Structure 1
Amino acid sequence: MDFNRSISRLKGFTLVELVTTIILIGIVSVVVLPRFFSSSSFSAYTLRNEFISELRQAQLRALNNTDRCYEVNVTATGYQLRHYSARVGNSCATLVRTEAVQNYSGGASISLIASASQSFNITFDSLGRMLSPSCTGACFNINADDILKVAVESEGYIYAL
Structure 2
Amino acid sequence: MNFKRLSSKPNGFSLVELVTTIILIGIMAAVVLPRFFSQSSYSAYTVRNEFISELRQAQLRALNNTDRCFEINVTSSGYQLRQYADRSGTACSSLIRSEALQGFSGDATVSLTLSASQTFTITYDALGRIISPSCSGPCFDINADETLQIAIESEGYIYAL
TM-score range, shorter chain: 0.7 to 0.9
Match of 2:132?
132
C-alpha change, 1:101 and 1:114, in structure 2 (3 Å) is same
Instruction: Give the CA deviation at 1:34.
Output: 6.8
The amino acid across from 1:159 in the alignment is Y
In structure 2, runs of 5+ residues without a counterpart are 1-10, 12-28
- State the match for 1:69 in structure 2: 69
Shift of 1:73: 0.3
Q: In structure 2, do the counterparts of structure 1 residues 57 and 36 end up closer, same or farther at CA, with 3 Å as the change threshold?
A: farther
* 1:52 equivalenced with 2:52 (yes/no): yes
TM-score (norm 2): 0.76
- Preserved CA contact (<8 Å) 2:72 2:122: yes
User: How big is each residue's C-alpha offset from its partner over 1:9-52, in whole Å with a ceiling of 9 and x where there is no partner?
Assistant: xx9xxxxxxxxxxxxxxxxx9xxx67994423211100000000
Residue aligned with 1:44, SS: helix
Q: How does 1:133-148 map to 2 (within 5 A)?
A: 133-148=133-148
- Kindly provide the amino acid, as one letter, of the partner of residue 95 in structure 1: L
* Structure showing the higher helix proportion among its residues: 1
Q: Does 1:158 align with 2:158?
A: yes
Please tell me the residue identity of whatever aligns with 1:121: T
Q: Take 1:103 and 1:53, find their aligned partners in 2: how far apart are those partners?
A: 14
Distance 1:122 1:137 in 2: 15
Higher mean alpha-carbon deviation, 35-44 vs 95-104, is at 35-44
Write the distance in 1 (CA, Å) between the matches of 2:118 and 2:72.
13
Asked if structure 1 preserves the Cα contact closer than 8 Å seen for 2:138 and 2:151, the reply is: yes
C-alpha distance in 2 between matches for 1:124 and 1:37: 39
- Structure 1-normalised TM-score? 0.76
The number of aligned residues is: 132
Instruction: Find the counterpart in structure 1 of residue 19 from structure 2.
Output: none
Distance 1:46 1:36, change over 3 A: farther
Name the SS of the counterpart of 2:47 in structure 1: helix
CA contact (8 A) 2:72 2:82 kept: yes
Distance 1:35 1:155, change over 3 A: farther
Q: Is the 8 A contact 2:71 2:82 kept in 1?
A: yes
C-alpha distance in 1, partners of 2:99/2:116? 25
Aligned counterparts, 1:1-161, within 5 A = 37-161=37-161
2:8 equivalent in structure 1: none
| Identity %, equivalent residues | 69
2:25 paired residue number: none
